Amino acid sequence: MSELALRTFSGTERAAVLMMLVGEDEAAAILQKLEPDEVRELGRAMYTVADVSESDVEGVLDDFVGRARERTGITFDPKPKVEAVMHRALGQEKAESVLARITPPEAACEIDLLDWLDATDIAAMIEKEHPQVAALLIANLDPAVGAQVLELLPDAAQPEILHRIAKLGPITPEAVETLKTMIGSRTISAAQGTQVKLGGTREAAKILQGARKATEQRVMPKLFKLDKETAKQIEEAMFVFDNLLDMDDKNLGALIRNVDSDLLTRALKGVDEAARGRFLGCMSARAADGIRDEMEARGPMRLSEVLDAQKAIISIARNLAKDGTIMMGGGEDDYV
C-alpha cells in the first residue's frame, strides 16, 4: 500500500471528507443541525482534507469512492464548495462570520531572507521606507514578529502602517519588485504578473494583539481618527466572545449583571459546556438554574441568533470597560 494510503484521519476529518463528497443541499442540511462550535470545527476540517488522495477516500468510506470519483478529481479547491455550503445553510451574513474564523489565509509572497532576520533588523530596514512598503512587509511576517516590528517603528508611523495593513488587497507585480529590490537578491515566491493577497483587518488585529497593551491604547484612538470603520473592524476582530473568559470572576459577574437574561441565554447556546459553566459559576445558583432551564426549553437555535447575542454582549463589555465599571484582561498590563 502506498504511503499516502496510510494517512490517518480524526473523526471530524472523516466527517469532513463525507461533507466534501455529498451535494451542497445535503451538506447544508447537516450543518443546520449542528451547534455553532461544531460548524466551525467541521468547516476547518473541510479545509484540512482538501488534498485527500483516492486511497485516502477509500480508507475513510469505501462505499463513497464511486461518488468521490464522479464529483471530484480528489485534488480540489475547497473554497467554492465550503463557501457555497455555509451560505446555503446559514445565510450570507452569518456565513461570512463563520468563514472569517475558519478560512486559511491566502498564500503570501514568502520572503526567505526574513526568516533569518530579527525584528530589530527588519524595523531598521523599513523605518525610512514608504508606509505602504512597510505594511506589505509586516503583513508577510508571522503576527508575533510583525507586532515586534511595529512597536520598533516610530510612534507616529504606527497607526498609518496598521491602517494600510488592514486595507491591503491584491499586490501588483510592481509592489513585489519593490520588496525584492529592498531585501536584495533573495527571490519572492510569487509568480510574475500574479497578484497575491496580503493583510486585511484580521491580520492587522493579530499584529496589534501581539503588541503591548500600551501600543494598542496609543494606536487605536489615532486609527479611529484616520478611518473609523476600519478601526472598528480591527477592534471587533481583536476581541471575540471567548475572550470574556479571561476576566476574573468579579469582573465577569459584574458584566453578567448588566446583561439581560434572554440575551445571555441565547449567547451561551453557542459555547461549550466548560465556557458555559464559567459564566453560570459567576451567578447565583437560582439565576444559573433559570438560565439552564431556559436553554433547555428553547431547544436548537439558529446560529444567527447566537452570534448576534454574543456580539451584543461583547459590545456591552467594551462599553463597561471604557467607563471603568469592569476590567478586561489577565495581567495588570492587560486591562483596558
The domain locations on the chain are 3-102, 112-237, 239-334
Please give the model's pTM, rounded to 2 decimal places: 0.41
The Cβ of residue 197 has, within 10 Å, a number of other Cβ atoms equal to: 15
Q: How far apart are CA 67 and CA 145, in angstroms?
A: 45
pLDDT in tens, the chain (336 residues): 444 445 677 778 877 877 877 778 888 888 888 877 788 888 888 888 777 777 776 666 654 444 444 444 444 567 777 788 788 888 777 777 777 667 665 444 444 556 556 677 788 878 887 888 888 888 878 788 888 888 888 888 889 988 888 887 666 666 666 666 666 533 333 333 334 444 577 778 778 877 787 887 888 888 888 888 888 888 777 777 888 888 899 999 999 999 999 999 998 987 888 888 999 999 999 999 999 999 888 877 787 788 888 888 988 988 888 888 888 754 444 433
CA-closest candidate to residue 123, choices 7, 211, 235 = 211
CB distance 81 to 294 below 8 Å: no
Residue 136, Ramachandran bin (φ over 0: left; ψ between -120 and 50: alpha; else beta): alpha
Q: Residue 200 contacts by C-beta under 8 Å, 6 or more apart in sequence? A: 165, 166, 168
- For 139-162, the three-class secondary structure string (H helix, E strand, C coil) is HCCCHHHHHHHHHHCCHHHHHHHH
pLDDT score for 74: 42
Say which CATH topology domain 112-237 has: Annexin V; domain 1 (1.10.220)
Say which CATH topology domain 3-102 has: Annexin V; domain 1 (1.10.220)
Instruction: Tell me whether strands 170-171 and 196-197 are parallel, antiparallel or unpaired.
Output: antiparallel
pLDDT score for 263: 92
CA-closest candidate to residue 111, choices 207, 204, 182 = 182
CA-closest candidate to residue 214, choices 272, 167, 147 = 147
CA-closest candidate to residue 132, choices 70, 179, 94 = 179
Q: Do domains 3-102 and 239-334 have the same CATH topology?
A: yes
DSSP sequence for 96-146: HHHHHHHPPPPPP--BGGGGG--HHHHHHHHTTS-HHHHHHHHHTS-HHHH
pLDDT score for 70: 47
- Which CATH class name applies to 239-334? mainly alpha
Cell 484612538, residue?
A: 221
